Each structure stands twice: as structure tokens, then as C-alpha cells.
Structure 1
Amino acid sequence: MKVFVEEQRFKNWVLIILMITPIVGVLIPILTSKEGFPAFNTPKFWSLVMVSFSVVLVFLLILSIKLSTKINEQGVFYRFYPNQCKEKFIPWSRIQQCHVTKYNSLRKFGGYGYRRCFWGKNKGLALNVGGKYGIQLVLENGKKILIGTQNENDAKRVLETYQSKINSNG
């Protein structure tokens, strides 16, 4: 029995820079002004606190995002936290096709994250946090799900093991 297990998070340094930039953009003008850091009881101080707090909250939310994937003899399990609190399960009997594919997330789905696409050939669901490879599932009802992976070779090996279960559905 072969099992593929992967857990991914957003770890892009560009993302970190984008999150820190607004805080720095607010702090530098305040710290370099002649007035210095605003006094505790001024509206300027509380505006600074609110902007910084909001950016930190968004940053923490993005860092909490986690894509979990598991493939075993039963089927494919996936969870995109915090969008999905419960793990989703697709048994092999519901899968018509399953393979690892290379894709461009920005062109195909408009970026990373939990993406629903309602137009063209890309119709379906994409779950990804980075990279350019994904596990493409085509279900018996024609619905497509793409689950991003950073370990495309391991995913291919495990999918080859269960290919007979997939082919028996088609």
C-alpha cells in the first residue's frame, strides 16, 4: 500500500515583503517627521495602531492557510484550511481521470488560493499555495479539481499505483 501525504503553506518571501511594506510605509514617515512618534492620545496614533493591527491580522490569516493532501488505497483526501474545516474525501469510484499536470496558476486560475473557475476549459476548483504542479482530478460528473503539489514525482508514483482503480471507473 502506497500513501502520498503532503502539507503545504504559503512560504513565499514576496508575500512577506508585501505584508511588511504597508507597516513600514506608515512607520517611516511618522518616525522621520519633525513631530516624531504621535502621542498616545492622538488620532494619528490610533490610526497607526489600526493600520498595523489590520495588516498583522491579514498576515497571520495568510500564514494560517494550509493545504493538506493524502492519497491512499481508498481515494483522495484534501483540505484547504481555513476555507474547509473538514477534510474532503473522493473515493476512487468517483474519479474518472487522475494525473499530475504542470500549470500556470496566474494564467489558469488568476492566482493562488482556493479558486473556483466557472468559464472555459479551466472550469472547476483549484486549491494551491505555490508551485507549478498539481494533481488533476476529473470526477464522474465531469467536475474538475486541481490540488497543488510541491512533490510531483512522489504524487506520480502513488497515482501510478492506483491507476487500475481509476481506469476501472472509466
Structure 2
Amino acid sequence: MKIEFKEEQKFTQWWLWLILIGIGILPIFGIYKQLILGEKFGDKPMSDFGLIIFCLFIFGLIAMFWFMRLKTEIDQNEIRINFFPFIKKRVNWKEIKNAEIVNYGFVGGWGIRLWTKYGTVYNTKGNKGLAIELQNGKKFLIGTQKETEMKKIVEKASWQQRV
């Protein structure tokens, strides 16, 4: 099928990267001070092994944010989302009871938000998205930065399903 809508989003907020880089400096400083200079890092220092594990965890977290992507594709048959590395979802238009573009406001942050009034929210930034209610009553929302373009495709697909 021909893809009619495609969007890839990632975390690009400057303040988020400032926080992540700031957090990343801490274990580097600790390793430098404790392992290279031979001085203890803090009043109650971690073991050298603990410091290395902490550093790996922090850089794993930063790498996760670096590689995390929310990809949305819509064609005449289905909506596909891939929030790498967490979920992959395909929904056929016939399974959808209602789909509309909404301003969802602030749902407690970005990423994957569970148990909101829209069901599960998948977003990376902003406050606009495609709210979907399935025939079985389940709900979810896909955030978008291309609200106008997505709205046109959703209206077209919804109309085609009614014919």
C-alpha cells in the first residue's frame, strides 16, 4: 500500500539534553577522580566497580534517549506506529471506532503515558495528536508535529471506510 502519511519524531528538547548531559558528567567526574587520580569521590564513595556500573547505566539511559524514535505511518488500510525500542503497533481502519486530532494538553510528560483519558499516549513533544478509539473500547493517542497533514489523511481514510 502507498503510505499517505509518514512522520518520525525524536526527543529534541534542548533542556532535556542539558539535563542528560549534566547527569552524564557526574559519573565521568567520579571515575576521573576515583580511578585516575586515586582520590575518593565523596564522603561515602562507591566501590570502583559500583562507579563503573553506575556510569554504564547513565550512559545507557542517555543512549536510549538518543536512539528513541516515534514513527507513524498511515495508509488506506492501517495505522502503524513504532516507538523504538518499546512498542510496535498496527491497527486496521476497520478496527477503529473513532479517530480524531485533539489537543491533549499535558499528560504528565513525554514518552509513553499510561492510563490517561486518551488511554495510552505515545509522544515525544508537543500537545497535539491522533486520538483513536477501537471497536473493542481500547484507546490510545499518537502525538504529532504534523497536525494539519495528519488531519487530512485521517478524514480521507475515515470517509473511505464509510463507503
Please report the TM-score for the alignment, with normalisation by the length of structure 2.
Answer: 0.80
User: Which residue in 1 is equivalent to 2:65?
Assistant: 62
Say whether 1:135 aligns with 2:133. Answer: no
The residue aligned with 1:19 is: 20
Following the alignment from structure 1 to structure 2, what is the Cα–Cα distance between the partners of residues 2 and 159? 13
Contact 2:118 2:131 in 1 (8 A): no
Q: Name the residue aligned to 1:79.
A: 82
Distance 2:7 2:55 in 1: 33
Give the deviation of 1:44 after TM superposition.
6.9
Query: Gaps (5+ residues) in structure 2?
Result: none
- Given the alignment, which residue of 46, 55, 77 partners 1:52? 55
Q: CA deviation at 1:53?
A: 3.0
Give the direction of change, closer, same or farther, for the CA distance of 1:55–1:29 in structure 2 (3 Å limit): closer
Distance, in Å, in 1 between the alignment partners of 2:27 and 2:67 is: 25
1:104 to partner: Cα distance: 1.8
Q: Which residue of 2 aligns with 1:102?
A: 103
Q: Find the residue that maps to 1:15 and give its secondary structure.
A: helix
The percent of aligned pairs where both chains have the same amino acid is 26
Distance in 2 separating the partners of 1:78 and 1:14:
26
| CA drift at 1:54 | 2.4
Q: Report the Cα offset of residue 52 of structure 1.
A: 3.3
Does residue 163 of the first structure (1) align with residue 158 of the second (2)? yes
Q: Which residue number corresponds to residue 38 of structure 1?
A: 37
Deviations 1:110-145 (A, max 9, x none): 21112221x6xx152111111111011111112111
> What is the rounded CA distance, in whole Å, between the counterparts of 2:126 and 2:28 in structure 1?
33
CA distance in 1 between counterparts of 2:80 and 2:27 reads 43
1:91 aligned onto 2:89: no
Superposition map of 1:118-157 within 5 A:
122=117, 124-157=119-152
CA spacing shift, 1:114–1:88, aligned 2, 3 Å: same
Q: Deviations over 1:5-57 (max 9, x none)?
A: 011111111111111222434666898x9x9x6239x9776665444332211
> Helix, strand or coil for the counterpart of 2:7?
strand
Root-mean-square deviation (CA, aligned residues, Å) is: 3.0
Q: 1:51 to 1:4 in 2, by over 3 A?
A: same
